[in-house]
Amino acid sequence: MTSPLQQKLKITGPTAITANRLADGVVVWLTPQRTWSEAIADAAIATTSDEVHALLASAQADELEAVGAYPARVAVEDGKARPANLRERIRVDGPTVAFGSAA
């Protein structure tokens, strides 16, 4: 998947804002309360370009809790966000391969 960091901001459906937590790099999602959650199901879902811009602006405001925020297209099920492509699925679920002593 082309890195979203290299893509122009174009909204093609339900979108959530995601980033990596500063202290440990863990993937986090911006909630409607403008806090960060590890659960994609907690993510605020935007559907218009204006909403996405507003969420992104607040996500990028301080970069103290999370870094590298960008808009990710998501699928919506029962009103909750789920990964819409392989890249986001890997970010949410971890590598698709066993690693370490589990390998």
Partner 1 sequence: MYVYDEFDRTFLSERVADFRDQVARRLSGELNEEEFKPLRLMNGVYLQLHAYMLRVCIPYGTLSSHQMRALASVARRYDRGYGHFTTRQNIQFNWIKLAELPDAMDELAAAGIHGIQTSGNCIRNTTTDPWAGATPEEIEDPRLYAEVIRQWSTLHPEFTYLPRKFKIAITAAKHDRAAIRVHDIGLRLHRRGAETGFEVIVGGGLGRTPFVGKTIRDFLPKQHLLSYLEAILRVYNSGGRRDNIYKARIKIQVHEVGTEEFARRVEEEWAQIRDGALLLDEAAFDQIRDRFVTPAFEPLDDAPDALAEALKNPDFARWHANSVGPHKVAGHAIVTVSLKPVGKPPGDATAEQMDGIADLADAFAYGEIRVAHEQNLTLPHVRQKDLPELWRRLDALGLATPNVGLISDIIACPGLDYCSLANARSIPLAQRLTERFADPDRIADIGRMHINISGCINACGHHHVGHIGILGVEKKEQEFYQVTLGGKGNHKTKLGELIGPAVSEDEVVDVVERIVDTYLDLRAGPSETFIAAVQRLGLEPFKERAYAAR
What's the chain's Rg over C-alpha atoms?
14
Binding mask 8-37 for partner 1 (x = CB under 8 A): ------------x-xxxxxx----------
Other CB atoms within 10 A of residue 92 CB: 18
45: nearest Cα among 82, 91, 20, 97:
82
Is 79 among the residues that bind partner 1 (CB under 8 A)?
no
Is 75 among the residues that bind partner 1 (CB under 8 A)?
no
Do 16 and 44 meet the contact criterion of CB atoms below 8 Å apart? yes
Is 38 among the residues that bind partner 1 (CB under 8 A)?
no
Chain residues binding partner 1 by CB under 8 A are 1-3, 5, 20, 22-27, 62-64, 67-68, 85-87, 90-91, 94-97, 99-101, 103
